């Protein structure tokens, strides 16, 4: 499976990227970066650093620095740390970004791999919406879009109504859901069922000194946030669940409906069913144990 991950690393993004690299079903051909958990320049730096650490040979293409319509944005430093990777105070600058900006890179890769490319978007959807605006054929060329974001039958995680990735650029997300892209939404309805505990991270570090040890280190900040804010003894696997929805769709049960995003007012960022829109597959069930076990076993096998 040819895959591009659209990302804003982010602790859970780092886990998802490591998982995609580890899975034999996935050929990771690039990362596109966007604002979200961090500023876009931090996202790109973190993405290049993570690929280098993993020994993964893939380009990083930098994308949108801000949401559509000048929607207000603030990096999620209180969740992921000041540089996006937990308590790391400095992340080294390694290599350089791809010459093409993210929207152009996505359009070009979708043309080259027409009908085969899967984009796993685990960040605000600005780059995806920009690619649709740049090339009307993008929706037809792309094989599938799998989104970590949204919520249909449960509350949000940044406001009572909204999930964070959708909330950070509601207009772009609404444009994506209106586009007719072959889309799967892996949102809070399932990701909140996939809790990684401190013991899980300890086991990863014991099995994989370099990669697992790094993930354990950056997870400490993330775990502390979930304990203090939600009184959870673990953190959801959010972004890695979207990667698994690409490679192991049998782990998920989906409903099909159109979606729109509320773009103003008290419910801004809410994803709501809209039968007049193109159909989206929305994950509402997950085999959480199988998902967690597969993620841990594959990352544990990395150096």
Say whether 113 is catalytic: no
Query: Exposed, middle or buried, 96 (CB in 10 Å: 0-12/13-18/19+)?
Result: exposed
272 phi, psi to nearest 5 deg: -125, 150
Q: How many CA atoms lie within 13 A of 171 on its CB side?
A: 11
Query: Exposed, middle or buried, 129 (CB in 10 Å: 0-12/13-18/19+)?
Result: buried
Among residues 169, 238, 239, 298, which one is catalytic?
Answer: 238
Q: How far apart are CA 109 and CA 300, in angstroms?
A: 30
Q: How far apart are CA 260 and CA 84, in angstroms?
A: 29
User: Which residue in 53, 59, 84 sits closest to 4, CA to CA?
Assistant: 59
* 3-class secondary-structure state, position 105: helix
CB 280 within 8 A of CB 184: yes
Say whether 238 is catalytic: yes
User: Which residue in 281, 287, 294, 23 sits closest to 144, CA to CA?
Assistant: 281
User: Which residue in 33, 26, 54, 187 sits closest to 118, CA to CA?
Assistant: 26
Among residues 6, 8, 169, 189, which one is catalytic?
Answer: 8
User: Which residue in 108, 296, 255, 170 sits closest to 119, CA to CA?
Assistant: 108
CB 164 within 8 A of CB 76: yes
Q: Which long-range contacts (CB under 8 A, 24 or more apart) does 225-228 make?
A: 225/78, 225/79
Residues 49-82: b if buried by 16+ CB within 10 A, e if exposed = bbbebbeeebbbbbbbebbbeebebebbeebbbe
Q: Which residues are catalytic?
A: 8, 238
């Amino acid at each position: 499976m040819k895959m591009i991950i659209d990302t804003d690393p982010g602790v859970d993004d780092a886990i998802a990227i490591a998982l995609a690299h580890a899975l034999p079903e996935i050929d990771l051909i690039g990362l596109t970066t966007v604002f979200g958990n961090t500023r876009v320049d931090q996202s790109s730096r973190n993405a290049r650093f993570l690929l280098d650490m993993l020994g993964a040979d893939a380009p990083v293409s930098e994308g949108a620095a801000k949401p559509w319509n000048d929607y207000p944005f603030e990096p999620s430093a209180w969740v992921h740390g000041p540089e996006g990777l937990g308590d790391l105070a400095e992340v080294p600058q390694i290599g350089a970004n791809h010459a093409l900006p993210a929207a152009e890179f996505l359009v070009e890769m979708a043309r080259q791999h027409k009908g085969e490319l899967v984009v796993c978007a685990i960040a605000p959807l600005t780059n995806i919406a920009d690619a649709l605006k740049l090339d009307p054929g993008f929706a037809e060329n792309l094989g599938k879009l799998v989104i970590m974001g949204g919520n249909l039958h449960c509350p949000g995680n940044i406001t009572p109504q909204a999930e964070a990735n959708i909330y950070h650029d509601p207009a772009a997300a609404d444009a994506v859901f209106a586009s007719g892209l072959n889309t799967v939404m892996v949102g809070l309805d399932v990701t909140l069922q996939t809790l990684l505990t401190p013991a899980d991270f300890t086991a990863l570090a014991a099995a994989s000194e370099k990669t697992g040890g790094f993930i354990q280190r950056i997870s400490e900040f993330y775990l502390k946030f979930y304990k203090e804010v939600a009184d959870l003894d673990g953190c959801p696997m959010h972004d890695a669940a979207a990667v698994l929805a690409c490679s192991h769709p049998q782990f998920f049960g989906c409903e099909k409906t159109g979606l729109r995003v509320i773009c103003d007012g008290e419910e801004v960022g809410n994803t709501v069913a809209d039968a007049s829109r193109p159909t989206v597959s929305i994950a509402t069930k997950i085999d959480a144990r199988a998902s967690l076990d597969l993620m841990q076993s594959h990352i544990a096998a990395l150096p």
